[in-house]
Structure 1
Amino acid sequence: MSRARATKEDTEVIKVEIPKSLAERFRKYVAEKYGFRRGALSRAIADLIKRELNALRSQSSNTVDSIVGLGLLSDYRWEGEDLAEALRRRANVPDRR
């Protein structure tokens, strides 16, 4: 897999402080997964940030998709009533107000 090398204009330096024990564990992880090549630490951090942000994005869309999916799987017919009340009644959950 070929990776394009980022230029100085495409990169930003972010300094962070983390516990020494976490840094040691992370460096070991990077060495095992990315090797000892130059830039491996930066690449690993960028990959983890991308993965976390993508997961966050998919979680928010999954929530809506899950709710819509439940409706598609259900025989319930929503007719504009309060959605929270309709779901509570459908699930037989007592009103906690």
Structure 2
Amino acid sequence: MAESFSTFDPADLLKSDEAIQVFLDDAFETGDATYIANALGVIARAKGMTKLSRETGLAREHLYKSLSAAGNPTLGTMLTVLNALGFQLKSQQKTL
């Protein structure tokens, strides 16, 4: 019997703001800009890219491109998207 696989999309698991917060915190802890951009893209898909596009005034195509594993969003785009998602970027001193 042949094995059957389905496509996994982490956006399907982000049903609450708490789940999104944990996902976003994990992404920022990596310090990897590509991973962070991709994580924002996953969150944007979970919340609805069309809705996010309307709220930010940014084109959906721009959001899809910027918030992908190959994307490189500007700081302005990241702040705009975070704000529309109900989150903010803040600094915290590292503990040694």
State the TM-score, normalized to the length of structure 1.
Answer: 0.23
Higher-RCO chain (CA-CA 8 Å, sequence separation at least 6): 2
Looking at CA atoms only, which structure, 1 or 2, has the larger radius of gyration? 1
